Structure 1
Amino acid sequence: MSSAPHLHDVSTRGDLIDWGPQPDAVAGASRSSGRLVHKGPDNRPEIGTWVCTPGTWRLTLPADEICHFVAGRATYTADTGEVIEVGPGTVVMFPKGWSGQCAVHEEMRNVYALF
């Protein structure tokens, strides 16, 4: 237990937990893995690092989520038609209820916080 939960080497960390196939697949067979840094009461906030292999799926976010992408490349397309390209160094704040598709082109890795 730490007074300030943390992970080192999130951009290259290899000891990830397999979180299984990405639900609501549209194309491909994306798999997720990651490590939690912290999970609060009722699972919020949830903070960790997430890795996902190529593929496309639908998603609707259950809470506000900030993502800092540290590796890979993906395209998020909102149901409104807005396109958000992400790659290393991109930070995105997805509001609760954001809905659309994610297409991972190169295995991506991000640090995230759900609030």
Structure 2
Amino acid sequence: MTVVLAVLVALIFTALGVTKVLALPLARELATHSGFSVTAYRGIGALELAAATGVLLGLTQPLFGALAGVGLLLLLAGALITHLRNKDTLRQIAPALVCALLVIGYLAVLKGIL
């Protein structure tokens, strides 16, 4: 179960991070909507890529996985705050909520809670 969740989390955040780092059109649009510069959004993408790497490293070094998961939760808390600040709809907020629940599940399995 840990491997499946780790790979899923890593794939999702690799895709999100690459989109932001490359400043693809959707990322540029979301950065503007969120009130971030493209440079700042690229920085968020780099953090997502680093966390995805940490989650995969967590398969052999659980401490790295746990730290990466906590880092992702902090990024997602920031995303949720930004969505609420912008008065986004539930449809716009839902991906961040789902990702947060997925990361919480990953951390719970990693720690043996689930």
Q: TM-score range by the shorter chain?
A: under 0.3
Q: Greater helix percent: which structure?
A: 2
* TM-score, scaled relative to structure 2: 0.24
Q: Which has the higher strand share?
A: 1
